[in-house]
Chains A and B, each alone.
Chain A
Amino acid sequence: AQSVTQPDIHITVSEGASLELRCNYSYGATPYLFWYVQSPGQGLQLLLKYFSGDTLVQGIKGFEAEFKRSQSSFNLRKPSVHWSDAAEYFCAVGGPTMGGSYIPTFGRGTSLIVHP
Chain B
Amino acid sequence: SQTIHQWPATLVQPVGSPLSLECTVEGTSNPNLYWYRQAAGRGLQLLFYSVGIGQISSEVPQNLSASRPQDRQFILSSKKLLLSDSGFYLCAWLNSGNTIYFGEGSWLTVV
Residues of A within 8 A of B (CB): 32, 34, 36, 41-46, 49, 51, 90, 92, 94-96, 100-104, 106-109
Q: How many residues of B contact A (CB 8 A)?
A: 22
Question: How far apart are the CA atoms of A95 and B100 in the complex, in Å?
Answer: 12
Pairs across A and B, CB under 8 Å, 20 listed: A32-B98, A34-B99, A41-B88, A41-B105, A42-B105, A43-B90, A43-B102, A44-B90, A44-B102, A46-B99, A49-B99, A51-B98, A90-B43, A94-B100, A95-B98, A100-B51, A101-B57, A104-B100, A108-B42, A108-B43
Instruction: Count contacts between A and B, CB distance < 8 Å.
Output: 47
- Which of chain B's residues have a CB closer than 8 A to the CB of A92? 100
Question: How far apart are the CA atoms of A49 and B44 in the complex, in Å?
Answer: 18
- Which of chain B's residues have a CB closer than 8 A to the CB of A51? 98
- Which of chain A's residues have a CB closer than 8 A to the CB of B43? 90, 106-109
